[in-house]
């Protein structure tokens, strides 16, 4: 089964991706970009939150290590208009 895992760059989503892959699923990782990249770099990186550019890079590294595809989906406009 093909499974998308929302990856934050943290332990929980990384382990979930690894376990699903171990179970034989075709796993790919996704992260939603909800903020402008310059805002994420300036405001979130200093807090090391789930939305920081560092967190995106952590998720990308995990995906690479697992050998799975990883996508960052830009939902900035949708988030801004709905929230």
22 vs 51, higher pLDDT: 22
| SS3 per-residue string spanning the chain | CEEEEECCCCHHHHHHHHHHHHCCCEEEEEEEECCCHHHHHHHHHHHCCCCCHHHHHHHHHHHHHHCCEEEEEECHHHHHHHC
Q: How many domains does the chain have?
A: 1
| pLDDT above 80 for 12 | yes
Full residue range of the structural domain in which residue 39 is found:
2-82
| pLDDT above 70 for 19 | yes
| pLDDT value, residue 13 | 97
- CATH number of the domain at 48, please: 3.40.50.620
- Write out pLDDT tens, residues 28-82: 999 998 877 676 555 555 555 556 788 899 999 999 999 999 999 998 899 889 9
């Amino acid at each position: 089964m093909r499974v998308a895992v929302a990856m934050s760059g943290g332990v929980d989503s990384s382990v979930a991706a690894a376990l699903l892959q171990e179970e034989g699923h075709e796993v790919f990782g996704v992260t939603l970009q909800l903020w402008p990249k310059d805002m994420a770099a300036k405001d979130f990186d200093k807090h090391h939150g789930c939305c920081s550019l560092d967190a995106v890079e952590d998720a990308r590294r995990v995906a690479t290590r697992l050998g799975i595809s990883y996508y960052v989906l830009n939902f900035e406009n949708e988030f801004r208009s709905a929230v």
